[in-house]
Structure 1
Amino acid sequence: MTFEYGMEIPKVVALAERFIENFSIMLLLGIFFFRKCLWPTVQVKYEFASIIHLERIAVVLVLYAAILTGEVDGISLTKVIVGVLWLVFAFERPESALISNGGKAFLSVILMVILAIDNYQGRVDLESIAPLVIVAMSYCGQIIPLGGGLGLWLSGRSQSGLISTQLKSLTDRFMSWALFSLLFILFPELIALLQGQFSAIKLFLPLIIAVMVYSYPRSMQTIKQGILGLNISLLIFLIVYASILSVSSPSREVEPFYWHVMGTEAHMSLRVIHKTEQARLDTWLPIGMGKPVEAVAELSKAGVKVQVPFSFKEGGADPYGYEGFDKYTYLASGTYLDSPGIWTLSVTVKDIKGGVHVFKKKQMVY
């Protein structure tokens, strides 16, 4: 698998699809955060039409992205249901605002969970709650300045406008939340740094936020819209750029493709080697349990599923592997993950005691 400067149309479409899928949820949650956590500080009964319209555009994008993938699974169906319900709430009447706000708050939690699961590189189960929380924290750290910055920028540019004291109050509130968001960005990146993986852009974000917050003159009764707008624009640009990188960066093991997951009851690694047209599945089960009753790998894209025909090669004690586990290897011939786009990978391993170990992830193929 090679990379060239010129990108083919299918690759561009796949990247755009994945970016819209992620960023639309971030935008929707960000605008909801602004409307419910920042806007009340100005103490006015109305909201600017531009902010309301942006929320509706974001929820339409969430729906569009969910339908565009062509996948029929639990996460995609949940996105569609959440999008439809949110769209209904987005056109609520003033007298039903309490119900719609409660509904949106509940739906936002679901979307945050989906965002974390969709971008978690590992098996999703009770043992992965802590890693999922860390992924969710990272996105919260981006959603707060994204939604708050966009909302503040639109409020400052609105034709009806806020009086200077109201805009100052709104900006003060945003700066406090922006400072708080540093925790959500730095903690996950610190964990990633300890694991030898980190994003330079996400590490640069806290610096921009800190400079913006500490250069902001809270003692002044008015604010300099030009400087504030420049800071917010830079901040939003970095968030968008980080989102693009997160969906466009290839995995460290580009050739061959490699995916490994460690669990408490089973481990798994999947390799797809394009040069030799071969796939390899390694599983580790507790010592003495014996080889898996079944080991299945399924690859799907745009609703089309391909099951890899693995056959057992060898297995048993693995003195150089994981302590307390035996290793079992399966091989298959053929070409897999051979077209660009977003693939869903699913590996299911069943042991002799009836245990079922499922590993899932999404993989961008270029």
Structure 2
Amino acid sequence: MIPSSGSKRFKNPKNRQGKGAGKGPPGQTQEAPAPVYRTPIAGEGDSSDKSKEPVMKCRYHPGSLRNSNWSCCGQYGSKPGCKTAAEHVPEATTLGQLRARFQYVPTYEAPIQATAPHRRVAVAIDCEMGTSKDLEPEVIRLTLVDYFTSEVLIDSLVWPDIPMLHYNTRYSGVTRQQLNDARRNRQCIMGLDRAREMVWKYVDANTYVIGHSLSSDLSCMRWLHHTVVDSFVLEQDIWNAAVREVQWANREVLNAFEALKLEKEEMGEDTESMQKPKVKPLPKAELSLKDATMKRLGKTIQEGKAGHDSLEDALSARDLVHWHLCQSMKSQEDLLL
């Protein structure tokens, strides 16, 4: 890779900064422009042989992966690139562009803080996600319910800010046509910033946010929140404790067997016929929202062929956390009796 310099062969970096580049409030530190790279011209920098063909050092796929195949050439994902270049040319991305795409925003920095009439003590959230063209999860449906009343506060499609690769319809339940219709009829939330603002109408820094695998929902919302209850973590803690208990019991059985075998060997007895004792299998990890809801609540969810329903999932996460809370309170009462 060759960075730009003062040579006339290189483009002016200012042309890559976009409108308003270098402008800002007085006294504000300006960001340095991102370096610009280019592919060297064949024979450039080599006066000995101008006709020499450049060595193609870079092989790449200009397309994207779709169902394990490259969209540009149809080859399997592990196949080498179908295009070549003399050098690798990275995309020039400014810090401002990265911030706009990936900046996570804490609740207390919300431009619209939750007001007293709307703020809720606890809410449950679930997001359905598609995949953007840069292969990042992007929220396309948002549901928020009140923890105590199950009132539906938000249940809306979200029009993504950036081009989408696909909508994961098999799991999200959201189709391209549904989003296009919702946008045309003005029945969806326009963009991620607006989606966060709508959530922050009901949520402030002290609100408990509940969900299952909540990190995925917060991540696709580019949202930092510290007061959370994750039903996946609650289930995982119980499963980990059960695994440790079985592993400890199995270790005790095997240690007893090895001790008995060693004792017999020291006494000169035959140990070839001794068989290792059977050990208990590890408990099944029923950590998905579907499995945990069936196990704890006896309720079947996510059975339809049209994908997941974020309202159903948000309410199920809420019910699952409530079950754990009731079990915890019951255990404390038993200790007091």
So what's the TM-score if we normalise by structure 2? 0.21
So what's the TM-score if we normalise by structure 1? 0.20
Which of structures 1 and 2 has the larger relative contact order (alpha carbons within 8 angstroms, sep 6+)?
1
In proportion to residue count, which structure has more helix?
A: 1
